[in-house]
Amino acid sequence: MKTLKAIYDEELEEFLEKIGLLEDIRSGMVKCEGCGEIITLDNFGAVSRRNGKLVVFCNSPKCVSKSIRTSSE
């Protein structure tokens, strides 16, 4: 069974640092896998793994929904 993990807003930067995405997000180098929007600390919605690569989604309901489907592939 797959599980969904959540983090508190105040732990977001620490989490992103641990997975190696914080600086890329701060630099505007990460785009939402669902819609192509540039990911910021304010619109970060989810991260998933696809074919061994981390993919990031913004916080729009449509994109978060895509992240759930992606994590089950």
List pLDDT tens digits, range 24-69. Answer: 999 999 999 999 999 999 999 999 988 889 999 999 999 998 888 7
Please give the full DSSP string across the chain, using - where no structure is assigned: --------GGGHHHHHHHTT-HHHHHTT--B-TTT-PBP-TTTEEEEEEETTEEEEEESSHHHHHHHHHHHT-
> How far apart, in whole angstroms, are the C-alpha atoms of residue 60 and residue 14?
22
Residues comprising the chain, all counted: 73
> With contact defined as beta carbons under 8 Å apart, do 56 and 46 qualify?
yes
Q: Which residue has the higher pLDDT, 29 or 6?
A: 29
pTM of structure: 0.86
**pLDDT attached to residue 50:** 87
